[in-house]
């Protein structure tokens, strides 16, 4: 059954039609990626789903429509976005940033257990738990942003370009962790320009070009597709 179902999603900024009516879904427990070049409309699609920009179309999450819901209500229903640029609190410590991720929750025991779980996923964050977010390296900030989103215990985690601006070793580490999070059963929607990495960890993929979805299918199949290989895998 699909956890997220998107039909006819459109996002426009004035006269710029960034997303031109796209359909896609993410099944419960799946890791699905949306790949495409810079400017294809991937981030706008995520923002439209989360209610961060005005969008048209139908977004179903679980068995409910998200139509006209504000972002905080969408978050309360179990969606968490790790935005491009991460958006961590630079003047709060790592531990305080993680507390902020759980602000909607009241189950102290569950929060404590999830804190142990994210520190196990990201030992580096545990070592740096008293350090200010703003003093972390780019890769550590990306870890913190993902860990903070997990503290909300989301039913669906949306990741926008987690590899952006990171050194190759750190990118590999982040992707190992994404695979580990998926293996724990968290449902993920991943947006990436780096098609190579995204196709490696995902089960299914959608290719976006100039605001529309041009291809979709099992990630392993798209990774062998001649068009995808020449346009996105540099072959």
What CA–CA distance (Å, rounded) separates 81 from 95? 19
Long-range contacts, stretch 126-129, CB < 8 angstroms, 24+ apart = 128/94, 129/93, 129/94, 129/95
Stretch 50-89 residues interacting with ligand ATP (CB under 6 A): 84
Residue 55 in tokens = 């969008």
Sequence-distant (≥ 6) Cβ neighbours of residue 106 within 8 angstroms: none
Residue 153 as a binder of ligand ATP (CB under 6 A): the answer is no
Using the rule CB under 6 A, which residue among 2, 71, 193, 203 binds ligand ATP? 193
Determine, following the binding rule CB under 6 A, whether residue 165 of this chain makes contact with ligand ATP.
no
Question: Smallest distance, Å, CB 214 to ligand ATP?
Answer: 13
Contact between 142 and ligand ATP (CB under 6 A)?
A: no
> Counting contacts by CB under 6 A, is residue 123 touching ligand ATP?
no
Tell me the closest approach of the beta carbon of residue 192 to ligand ATP, in angstroms. Answer: 8
Using CA atoms of 163, 168, 174, 176 in order, give the dihedral in degrees to the nearest 10: 130
Phi-psi region of 14 (alpha: psi -120 to 50; beta: other; left: phi over 0): left
Least spacing, CB of residue 11 vs ligand ATP, in Å:
7
Q: Using the rule CB under 6 A, is 154 a contact of ligand ATP?
A: no
Segment interacting with ligand ATP (CB under 6 A) among 34-42, 58-66, 90-98, 177-185: 34-42
Only one of the segments 41-49, 99-107, 135-143, 166-174 lies at the binding site for ligand ATP (rule: CB under 6 A); that segment is 41-49
Check residue 131 for interaction with ligand ATP (CB under 6 A).
Answer: no
Stretch that binds ligand ATP, among 20-28, 36-44, 56-64, 166-174 (CB under 6 A): 36-44
Indicate the SS3 state at residue 4: strand
How far is the C-alpha of 8 from the C-alpha of 32, rounded, in Å? 18
Is 214 an interacting residue with respect to ligand ATP (CB under 6 A)?
no
Of 33-41, 54-62, 94-102, 146-154, which part binds ligand ATP (CB under 6 A)? 33-41
By beta-carbon proximity to ligand ATP, the closer residue of 97 and 202 is: 202
Q: Give the C-alpha distances (Å, rounded to integers) separating 119 from 65, 138, 186, 199, 222.
A: 34, 18, 17, 27, 34
Q: Quick one: which of 85, 6, 82, 15 has its CA closest to 48? A: 6
Nearer to ligand ATP, 8 or 29 (CB): 8
Torsion sign over Cα 46, 51, 54, 60: positive
For ligand ATP, the binding residues (CB under 6 A) are: 13, 16, 18, 36, 38-44, 84, 161, 193
């Amino acid at each position: 059954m699909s956890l997220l179902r998107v039909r006819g999603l459109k996002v426009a900024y004035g006269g710029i039609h960034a997303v031109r009516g796209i359909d896609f879904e993410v099944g419960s427990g799946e890791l699905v990626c949306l790949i495409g070049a810079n400017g294809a409309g991937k981030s706008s699609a995520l923002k439209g789903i989360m209610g961060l920009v005005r969008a048209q179309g139908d977004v179903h999450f679980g068995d409910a429509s998200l139509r006209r819901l504000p972002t905080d209500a969408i978050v309360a229903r179990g969606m968490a976005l790790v935005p491009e640029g991460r958006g961590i609190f630079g003047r709060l410590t790592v531990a305080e940033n993680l507390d902020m991720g759980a602000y909607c929750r009241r189950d102290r025991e569950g929060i404590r257990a999830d804190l142990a779980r994210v520190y196990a996923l990201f030992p580096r964050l545990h070592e740096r738990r008293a350090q200010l977010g703003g003093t972390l390296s780019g890769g550590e900030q990306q870890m913190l942003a993902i860990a903070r989103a997990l503290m909300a215990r989301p039913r669906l985690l949306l990741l926008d370009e987690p590899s952006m601006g990171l050194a190759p070793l750190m990118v590999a580490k982040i992707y190992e962790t994404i695979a580990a999070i998926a293996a724990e059963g968290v449902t993920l929607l991943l947006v990436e320009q780096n098609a190579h990495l995204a196709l490696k960890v995902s089960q299914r993929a959608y290719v976006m070009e100039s605001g529309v979805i041009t291809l979709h299918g099992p990630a392993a199949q798209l990774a062998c597709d001649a068009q995808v290989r020449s346009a996105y895998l540099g072959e």
